[in-house]
Structure 1
Amino acid sequence: MKLFSTRFISGAALAMALSVAPAAFARTPVDQLVIGTSLAQVLSLDPQQGTEVKTQEILANTYDRLVQFSGEEGYAIRPQLAESWEVDDTGITFHLRDATFASGNPVTAADVVFSLTRLIMMDQSAAANLKNVGYTPETIADLISAPDEKTFRIEMTDSVIPESLLYRLAGGTASVVDSAVVKEHVSNDDYGNAWLRTNTAGSGPFVLRRWTPNDVVLLEANEQYWDGAPAMRRVIMRHAPESQAARLMLERGDIDVANALTAPDVLTFTDKEGFSIDEVKTGGYYVLSMNAGREPLSNPLVREAIAYGIDYQGIADTILGPYGRPRNVPVPEDFEGAIDNPDWSFQPERARELLAEAGYADGFDLTLKTIAQTPRVDMATAIQASLADIGINVSIQQGNGSDIVASHRARDFDLLIPQTGAFMPTALGSIDNFVTNPDNALEANNAGNFVWRSAWDIPELNAMRNEANGERDDARRLELLRQMQEMFIAQKPAVLPMFERFEPIVISERVHGYEGHPWSLTRLDDVTKTED
């Protein structure tokens, strides 16, 4: 049974508590969960806009989706706002539970229609997962409906199978917002975005009390939550970008969970009494994005040379550790339908031969952009050293989340290290980011598309991807996926998977029920804590 507390401290007292230096922190209270993390990439809390990894845990706890999944039960889709649903030949019908938003307004099917319409009409990168399977500003009104207050209906396009659509609706960007509250805050036809960037209007187990960028996020229990108030009266996410400081805070009991530690600091907790390490498989990758719209990266031979010019195993052993393992195919090796890895191990002589064949025997200069965040900064330095061995002089430009993400979306880079996820835990879900680019033209301005950002034109791969997404025969879809992986390797990708990505989280033994999520949609309503 979920516990519940109505005790609150004043805003002034809270501000004082949060401003105390870490060394002065006492053991965290039993009814508060304190998470040490990096908030550098939290740019917007609008669920139809914010896609960054750390944003998702905030959205997961302040909003609900129709459906959800976790690492339990084989990643099976489970109910959330929808109590049940039926799949037929043309669409899916959802039946909503009785639930209310934090405002007290009832959650209705009209709110679901409003939220998904808002997602598509705002037309930002958050909409990519639905836009890429045919839900567009031109089609959305005809594809979703609310037959009554508790019934929501979505039609399937020719580019999506039921399983894939359900997983897309389980994502943070498909969160259901309180349409009445959001409409009250619309300004200059912005769909309420200016207000919702820094406020919440959801039905989740927590509500946003405070967000100070690169400092703190404070969530308070939603006493009206439809599944009962959470045990944690308060969740505090503290910006702790310095790994050693965060490790010491965790050891002292100043924080309960740390999810932005360096690999060496994570490993100090191996078999350490009082702590556990949750190594979350994301299905995504750390990627080297190459701007194929710029010379010499437009040349496939140059891209192949770079693929042979990176010491993947060395980086995995010395930097990544629990954060990842080498893999150059955009489907994890243990997913059904995955092909073997190509021989893109560190072979500097082979890389130099390819550069000479491409007409760059004397090498060239490039700039590598990366978010100043673990483990990407150290990866960038290692890549810089590896590529120097083959004659490519790389300078590194670090920046905060907003700077680097903006450069990526604007195609303003030579090399860049982003990370991907998988929209569902299958080969189809993991490869989608790497093979989707319906229109490579600059004027298409499809910044929500991962491949478009690298200006890599892949019409054949995109066509095969569309076929696989609409193929309901499992055997035929698996064969298409194998062909796509082979074609991806053969084309010397401008979006080079380097390492399958894991999220290591160190958790105090005082915390129970904290389970990391593949998409960082970690729910905290069932988390409890003990005194010791």
Structure 2
Amino acid sequence: MSRSNLLVRMLAMLAVVAVVLAACGGPTAPTSTGATTAPVASAAAGVTTAPAAVTEAPTTMTTATAVVAATAGTTTAEAATSGAAVSPQQTLLFSGDLSDQISLDPAVAYEFGGIQVVGQTYETLVSPDPGNPTLKPLLAKKWDTKDSGDMWTVTFNLDEKAKFASGRSVTADDVVYSWSRALDLNKSPAFLFSDISKLKKENIKAVDPQTVEVRLPKTASPTVFLSICSFTLAAVVDKQVVQANAGSDMGSTWLNDHSAGSGPYVLDRWERSTQVTLNANPTYWGTAPALKRVIMRNVTEVSNLQSAIETGDADIVQDLGAEQVKALANNPDAQVVKADSTLLVYIGMNAKSPPLDKPEVREAIRYAINYDEIVNNLLGGNGKLVQEIIPNGLFGHTGENPFKQDVAKAKDMLTKAGVAAGTQIELLIPAGPAPGGIDWSILAAKVQSDLQQIGLKINIKQIQQSELLNTYRAQKGQMVMINWGPDFPDPDGNVTPFTSYAAKSIAWRNAWDAPDIAKLGQDAALEQDNTKRAALYKQLTERVLHEGPYVILYQPTRAFGVRKNVQGFTYDPADTPSISFWRISKQ
């Protein structure tokens, strides 16, 4: 993910099963239930909300994008807002590491920076509220799931009031086009439809202008499918607008500089590697956002994030380090909001690249690392020790952390594997800060030092995150240090990417194909008995811990700096987007 992209929430399947059976409601603004108050969220809290002076602003429905006039060029909403004067009071300045942005097309975006933009400009059929995992109506006012013998049938009834920024009504034909387009493009997030949901184009049907029918095989879970329907991959684009600007890539290039959705904001411009500007959608069909403009700035140095929040050059900054948190403790104009996340910071090891093709070498690397020093010293409280692929806060997390630094044991493993002292391995790392507020370079240097103790020479290569992701996705990284968060609030949001080679996600990037382990994950996803499901995940976790090509380093805590005149800021990693800009206002 790349997506990508997310505060810890405990979600058992039963929490969503009721939603699968039926749901209904109108286009009223959702409220945030189950919210916890910062500065520090509890481990299983659903959402972190800025405390004290920061109170929740009037909320709106989860939103989508602005659409273009069917001809080409500029969208109706863009024409109304682009270049218009907007006061500082009506502008939100958000700063963080956005260097992972590759695309703003909802069928392509799979990185955290891209998803954060797409989630403001496009809408899905269903969506959770911050702090409440239960799916609620968005573009669909109700839905139901039926057992049709050899298939599941999921029927969505669209809200007739829903409109794109172009002024066109959102129809079933737009939904069919959007989901079929995502399957045809077959980019990074497409496996959520094709592999996890087992969705095929011929099984997506517009019954009438307001009704969409989806048929899923019994080898897919309709509960998981509905969760995926809340992710940006399932966002609905304006068919008429995108087709008019399709070019040679079904409109993907065009959508990087325009938006074609139904949400509270529209894309004004994307200045690559610098910033993204969003303007309020003047024709939005829900409650209008309080802030007329959002500027998302790419700032990769934590010291610059501290300066920006102190001076007011930013209203919100993301991923402060321990030193910056301490420095802001008594600031009269800003506060620190800490939130658990479902992210995992990990090292992927290419299982076909010697010497990493030997499981005992990968196990030796896991035993060589001093995890306690990373969590306690380098992170300074901005993370917790987690070594399994299901993060703390999701159903199926076991809490097993079997690896502690044992240099003698690791050396012995390498010797038995026939790996000579001084063997060189290249480690790719992104530029900028890692989740938890530590520079990737500092974290990599720590790993390099630990592995040097067992005779491995690690050559660190630091590149922009977007370039790293392209390399990683092409199976060209020998060792890659990166982070990942689940695309939807269910353990399968991590299990399939980490274990299924066929899904062409993380297991594929690391050239690791273990069909029997992938089958365990598939069985767990379909299991309706939670006790049996938990047992399957425990079995899978044990095997991936020791056989997989991963070193899970930690689960980060995210530290945000928030100016005290900002109201309505919440962070929920299980929602898409994790920060809803349309819920925010300024005093």
Q: 2:383 aligns with which of 324, 332, 348?
A: 324
Residue 131 of structure 1 aligns to a residue in which SS? helix
- Is the Cα contact below 8 Å between 2:125 and 2:139 reproduced in 1? yes
Q: Does 1:128 align with 2:187?
A: no
Coordinate RMSD, CA, aligned: 2.4
Match of 1:254 in 2: 313
Q: 2:171 aligns with which of 108, 119, 139?
A: 108
Q: 1:142 aligns with which of 197, 202, 209?
A: 202
Q: 2:543 aligns with which of 471, 487, 498?
A: 487
Structure 1 residue 474 displacement after superposition:
2.5
Match of 1:239 in 2: 298
Aligned pairs for 1:443-482 (under 5 A) are 448-482=504-538
For 2:375 and 2:262, locate their aligned partners in 1 and report how far apart those are by CA, in whole Å: 41
Q: 2:485 aligns with which of 421, 437, 450?
A: 421
Match of 2:51 in 1: none
For 1:154 and 1:9, locate their aligned partners in 2 and report how far apart those are by CA, in whole Å: 37
Match of 1:527 in 2: 584
Gap change, CA 1:280 and 1:175, over 3 Å in 2: farther
Gap change, CA 1:202 and 1:245, over 3 Å in 2: same
Structure 1 residue 272 displacement after superposition:
4.3
TM-score (norm 2): 0.81
- Is the Cα contact below 8 Å between 2:231 and 2:488 reproduced in 1? no
Unpaired runs of 5+ residues, structure 1, are 15-27, 439-445
Deviations 1:152-194 (A, max 9, x none): 2222233332321111111112111111000001113x21112
Deviations 1:423-455 (A, max 9, x none): 3334333333222223xxxxxxx6x41101101
Q: Does 1:185 align with 2:242?
A: no
Aligned pairs for 1:118-517 (under 5 A) are 118-135=181-198, 140-188=200-248, 190-270=249-329, 272-321=331-380, 323-375=382-434, 376-438=440-502, 448-491=504-547, 493-517=548-572
Structure 1 residue 363 displacement after superposition:
4.1
Residue 404 of structure 1 aligns to a residue in which SS? helix
- Is the Cα contact below 8 Å between 2:59 and 2:582 reproduced in 1? no
- Is the Cα contact below 8 Å between 1:2 and 1:229 reproduced in 2? no
Structure 1 residue 9 displacement after superposition:
8.6
The alignment-based identity, stated in percent, is 29
Q: Amino acid of the residue matched to residue 372 of structure 1?
A: A
Structure 1 residue 12 displacement after superposition:
9.4
- Is the Cα contact below 8 Å between 2:105 and 2:255 reproduced in 1? yes
Q: Amino acid of the residue matched to residue 584 of structure 2?
A: V
For 2:138 and 2:381, locate their aligned partners in 1 and report how far apart those are by CA, in whole Å: 31
Match of 2:154 in 1: 92
For 1:3 and 1:84, locate their aligned partners in 2 and report how far apart those are by CA, in whole Å: 20
Deviations 1:228-282 (A, max 9, x none): 2210011111222222122111111121000143342234334644433333433
- Is the Cα contact below 8 Å between 1:209 and 1:218 reproduced in 2? yes
Deviations 1:119-169 (A, max 9, x none): 111011121222222536xxx223211111111222223333232111111
Structure 1 residue 51 displacement after superposition:
0.8
Structure 1 residue 499 displacement after superposition:
1.2
Aligned pairs for 1:8-27 (under 5 A) are 11=83
Residue 87 of structure 1 aligns to a residue in which SS? strand
Higher deviation after alignment, 520-529 or 389-398: 520-529
Q: Amino acid of the residue matched to residue 77 of structure 1?
A: L
Structure 1 residue 385 displacement after superposition:
1.2
For 1:334 and 1:429, locate their aligned partners in 2 and report how far apart those are by CA, in whole Å: 13
Q: Amino acid of the residue matched to residue 154 of structure 2?
A: I
For 1:144 and 1:400, locate their aligned partners in 2 and report how far apart those are by CA, in whole Å: 38
Residue 156 of structure 1 aligns to a residue in which SS? strand
Residue 370 of structure 1 aligns to a residue in which SS? strand
Higher deviation after alignment, 482-491 or 306-315: 482-491
Match of 2:6 in 1: none
Gap change, CA 1:77 and 1:12, over 3 Å in 2: closer
For 1:497 and 1:78, locate their aligned partners in 2 and report how far apart those are by CA, in whole Å: 33
Gap change, CA 1:226 and 1:45, over 3 Å in 2: same
For 1:220 and 1:255, locate their aligned partners in 2 and report how far apart those are by CA, in whole Å: 17
- Is the Cα contact below 8 Å between 1:159 and 1:469 reproduced in 2? no
Structure 1 residue 323 displacement after superposition:
4.3
Gap change, CA 1:145 and 1:267, over 3 Å in 2: farther
- Is the Cα contact below 8 Å between 1:133 and 1:159 reproduced in 2? no
- Is the Cα contact below 8 Å between 1:43 and 1:401 reproduced in 2? no
Structure 1 residue 66 displacement after superposition:
0.9
Structure 1 residue 324 displacement after superposition:
2.6
- Is the Cα contact below 8 Å between 1:309 and 1:387 reproduced in 2? yes
For 1:478 and 1:60, locate their aligned partners in 2 and report how far apart those are by CA, in whole Å: 31
- Is the Cα contact below 8 Å between 2:198 and 2:220 reproduced in 1? no
Match of 1:29 in 2: 88
Gap change, CA 1:112 and 1:460, over 3 Å in 2: same
Residue 11 of structure 1 aligns to a residue in which SS? coil
For 1:453 and 1:428, locate their aligned partners in 2 and report how far apart those are by CA, in whole Å: 18
For 1:430 and 1:94, locate their aligned partners in 2 and report how far apart those are by CA, in whole Å: 27
For 2:330 and 2:220, locate their aligned partners in 1 and report how far apart those are by CA, in whole Å: 44
For 1:173 and 1:517, locate their aligned partners in 2 and report how far apart those are by CA, in whole Å: 18
Q: How many residues align?
A: 502
For 2:168 and 2:84, locate their aligned partners in 1 and report how far apart those are by CA, in whole Å: 29
For 2:457 and 2:100, locate their aligned partners in 1 and report how far apart those are by CA, in whole Å: 28
Higher deviation after alignment, 112-121 or 376-385: 376-385
